[in-house]
Amino acid sequence: MVNNTDILNTLATIVEEVTGIDPAEVTTEKSFTDDLDVDSLSMVEITVVLEDRFEVKVPDDQVAELRTVGDAVNYIAHYR
């Protein structure tokens, strides 16, 4: 069973792989665009890796709804 902390840690690693952002900066309250400066192309890359690692599908219309790291963690926890 994967818990939210595991999801957050994996997501932080993915964000680092795609953008080079220090995983310590990736916390649940951070906004991908406003706080972490993740652009739309990088967000697509992060989503693709998330789908692969967690075996979930994030529909294109849902990607825009994942505004914060916490949104992404909750989405994965709910649909995994």
Q: 39 an active-site residue?
A: yes
Both tokens of 26, joined, read 């990736």
Q: What is the DSSP string of 1-46?
A: ---HHHHHHHHHHHHHHHH---GGG--TT-BTTTTT---HHHHHHH
Catalytic residue among 39, 60, 61, 71: 39
Residue positions annotated with a catalytic role: 39
